[in-house]
Structure 1
Amino acid sequence: MTNNSTCTETDLKPYYAITYTFILIPGLIGNTLALWVFYGYMKETKRAVIFMINLAIADLWQVLSLPLRIFYYLTGTWEFGRGLCMLCFYLKYVNMYASIYFLVCISVRRYLFLMHPFKFSDCRRICDVYISILGWVLVCVACLPFPLLRLQRDANNTCFVDLPVAQIGLSTSIAMVTTGELLGFITPLLIILYCSWKTILSLKEKNSASHDLGEKKKALKMILTCALVFLICFAPYHISFPLDFFVKTKKIENGCAQKVISVFHAVALCLASLNSCVDPVIYYFTTDEFRRRLSRQDLQDSIQLHTLAHIRKHTRAVLRTDTMDY
């Protein structure tokens, strides 16, 4: 017989609200700035810029849904309709797995250009566009079970963590969790670790020129940073996910175990959301072009060029109006 008297419920909603408030402003500014920078030097480099743009878009989608999450966790009630609730709930998982997908793409792209520069030098940017489109389709389809399992009629005025989960059989639960863990976490992790390991081995080659050595160090820095963000933001969630799923589907009934798992899962969810404001830090510290474009001089030049272009456009419009008057 389990003793549940010492395992009181903990209200985790304030912690969600605090975390999402902390993420909101840096995530909004960082990803908007990242998209502006990537648009500016998209024609200058082939180094995974398309994947970085898609990663920033995925993060921005998540950030734009945070105000509604914060409102719900502060008030405890949802007044915006079931459709918007499920959309925001769905975007959370689309963002997470799209981020995982594009972190893997960035790591593989840097690794391939480094280790096989002649073989992949002719790979046009359109290839990355097709890979990105395919990734979005796969992620959006694969994440559909998350909202579909929460479409319950008795969920009035509740959303997010309070949504009830449909009861399914143990064998189906194990199959779904195993598939999600293998495809959504373990396989991407192994790919990133493989790219890191092969890049580290290439640094030990004695016949590498100084230029090649510098490029390898830059690539390794990018790949290791992706691996670090991957482990910090997504590993805790994928450890807690199967446990929390079995709690919500009543496969784990011990009160103390449920409380511990719920708290751990809440922390893991917050860490997974943190990637929205951590990813712009990756761009800044691992991409030379990003730092250069954000430098004081480049920023001033860009603003001046934008201002001049606006003045010229306005002047042409005025001249065109004057000509029409005549």
Structure 2
Amino acid sequence: MNSTAGGTEYCTVNDQMIPFTYLYYIIFLTGIIGSCVALWAFTRNQKNKKCLNIYLINLLTSDFILTLALPFKIAVDLGIAPWKLKIFHCQFSACLIYVNLYASIIFLAFVSTDRYLEITQSSKLFRIQHVGFAKMMSVVVWGLVLFIMVPNMAIPIKEIKEKPLVTCAEFKQELGLHWHTLTIFLCLAIFMNASAIILISNGLILRRLYKNRNSDDSRNVKQAMFNIGMVTLAYVICFVPYHAVRMPYTFAQTQVITDCALKRHLFIAKESTLLLSVLNLCIDPILYYYLSHSFRQKITEAFKPEKKASVKSTTITTL
């Protein structure tokens, strides 16, 4: 929709956000419940001495913080947020979504790598499965994503006239837009490298399991193959579409693309695919259940209290 203000043509792209807010609200409720259950299960277990559990706890942390940032986006997209809250969202909570989105992607890559090393029992790379290494890499990951994203929060914004509909790019000064563009390139690089690790690791695991499909434990092997296949498919569905449209939309934000109709289509495509990425919040608790023995045990104990003793004495193998 084109409008004119002070003789300057203005293209409104975010006037169709209300349908998205209802879906975000459902994701928020599902995500906060799943994150709280996972947080309860992990905090009840005081012996998280496995490398995998360190990565899963960090993945849970990023999911939980991302979930807490969603109400601000919902309020802004509904059009009920006051002007100062819109500024807060664009300068802080929107950036927080991306900080934790890319932290999640990196930790998913570490989880896939750890699963591959666990299954292959590779002695050459055994040292990187130490808990100390996992903790060190977790600090590096958080430091990396914060280094990339925090300048988007810290670079001063410009004052603009209050209006019902505003995009975050309108608040950015030239330096802010340049750093925003650089951020997109760096995040795409993170995504591509993490995706290669996830797809290769899961592919190698599937190949190894496929060779054992006719073994005595064929039922568990086939179940493991199905689980890994579904996790990989969910990753592709959640994250690939968003990154396919992210760069073209960035060109629209930086005025490389000026056609209003194309801008509107790119904005809707970006919001639709971002919704798919955030949907990963609802999928990760399933990942915790299948990959973490301690998490699965606590959930089993909680929902089957009458079999608590037998559950504790039973060894449940991880995926």
Common fold: TM-score over 0.5: yes
Q: Aligned in 2, Cα 1:146/1:173: closer, same or farther, shift over 3 Å?
A: closer
Give the corresponding residue for 1:36.
40
Give the corresponding residue for 1:180.
187
Equivalents in 2 of 1:43, 1:219: separation in Å?
25
Give the corresponding residue for 2:299.
294
Equivalents in 1 of 2:305, 2:187: separation in Å?
46
Amino acid at match of 1:257: L
Unaligned runs of 5+ in 1: 1-6, 305-326
- CA deviations on 1:122-156 (whole Å, 9 max, x unpaired) are 64322211111111111111223544678333276
Q: 228, 249, 256: which one pairs with 2:254?
A: 249
If the length of structure 2 is used for normalisation, what is the TM-score? 0.77
163-172 vs 109-118, which deviates more?
163-172
Question: Given that residues 58 and 95 in structure 1 are in contact (C-alpha distance below 8 angstroms), is that contact kept between their aligned partners in structure 2?
Answer: yes
Equivalents in 1 of 2:255, 2:31: separation in Å?
35
Question: Given that residues 13 and 267 in structure 2 are in contact (C-alpha distance below 8 angstroms), is that contact kept between their aligned partners in structure 1?
Answer: no
Amino acid at match of 1:136: W
Matches within 5 A, 1:1-326: 11-41=15-45, 43=47, 46=50, 48-74=52-78, 75-80=80-85, 82=87, 85-119=90-124, 123-144=129-150, 146-147=152-153, 151-154=157-160, 161-164=167-170, 165-167=172-174, 177-181=184-188, 183-205=189-211, 223-295=228-300, 300=305
Alpha-carbon shift at residue 9 of structure 1 (Å) = 5.5
Secondary structure at the counterpart of residue 252 of structure 1: coil
Alpha-carbon shift at residue 38 of structure 1 (Å) = 2.2
Alpha-carbon shift at residue 41 of structure 1 (Å) = 4.0
If the length of structure 1 is used for normalisation, what is the TM-score? 0.75
Alpha-carbon shift at residue 299 of structure 1 (Å) = 5.7
Secondary structure at the counterpart of residue 295 of structure 1: helix
Amino acid at match of 2:77: Y
Q: Aligned in 2, Cα 1:81/1:202: closer, same or farther, shift over 3 Å?
A: closer
Amino acid at match of 2:187: G
Q: Aligned in 2, Cα 1:87/1:206: closer, same or farther, shift over 3 Å?
A: closer
- CA deviations on 1:288-319 (whole Å, 9 max, x unpaired) are 54333212566638999xxxxxxxxxxxxxxx
Equivalents in 1 of 2:265, 2:162: separation in Å?
27
Q: Aligned in 2, Cα 1:44/1:80: closer, same or farther, shift over 3 Å?
A: closer
Equivalents in 2 of 1:152, 1:217: separation in Å?
57
- CA deviations on 1:2-50 (whole Å, 9 max, x unpaired) are xxxxx99662321332122111111111011112212334626626111
Give the corresponding residue for 1:318.
none
Equivalents in 1 of 2:249, 2:299: separation in Å?
42
Unaligned runs of 5+ in 2: 1-10, 310-319
Alpha-carbon shift at residue 73 of structure 1 (Å) = 2.2
Structure with the greater relative contact order (CA < 8 A, sep ≥ 6): 1 or 2? 1
Q: Aligned in 2, Cα 1:173/1:73: closer, same or farther, shift over 3 Å?
A: closer
Equivalents in 2 of 1:98, 1:33: separation in Å?
20
Equivalents in 2 of 1:248, 1:149: separation in Å?
17
Question: Given that residues 77 and 157 in structure 1 are in contact (C-alpha distance below 8 angstroms), is that contact kept between their aligned partners in structure 2?
Answer: no
Question: Given that residues 222 and 282 in structure 1 are in contact (C-alpha distance below 8 angstroms), is that contact kept between their aligned partners in structure 2?
Answer: no
Equivalents in 1 of 2:49, 2:96: separation in Å?
30
- CA deviations on 1:33-89 (whole Å, 9 max, x unpaired) are 112212334626626111111111111111112222222222153344845652212
Equivalents in 1 of 2:130, 2:40: separation in Å?
22
Q: Aligned in 2, Cα 1:186/1:84: closer, same or farther, shift over 3 Å?
A: closer
Question: Given that residues 63 and 276 in structure 1 are in contact (C-alpha distance below 8 angstroms), is that contact kept between their aligned partners in structure 2?
Answer: yes
Question: Given that residues 51 and 106 in structure 1 are in contact (C-alpha distance below 8 angstroms), is that contact kept between their aligned partners in structure 2?
Answer: yes
Query: Number of residue pairs matched?
Result: 296
159-168 vs 286-295, which deviates more?
159-168
Alpha-carbon shift at residue 245 of structure 1 (Å) = 0.7
Q: Aligned in 2, Cα 1:219/1:167: closer, same or farther, shift over 3 Å?
A: farther
The structure with the largest alpha-carbon Rg is 1
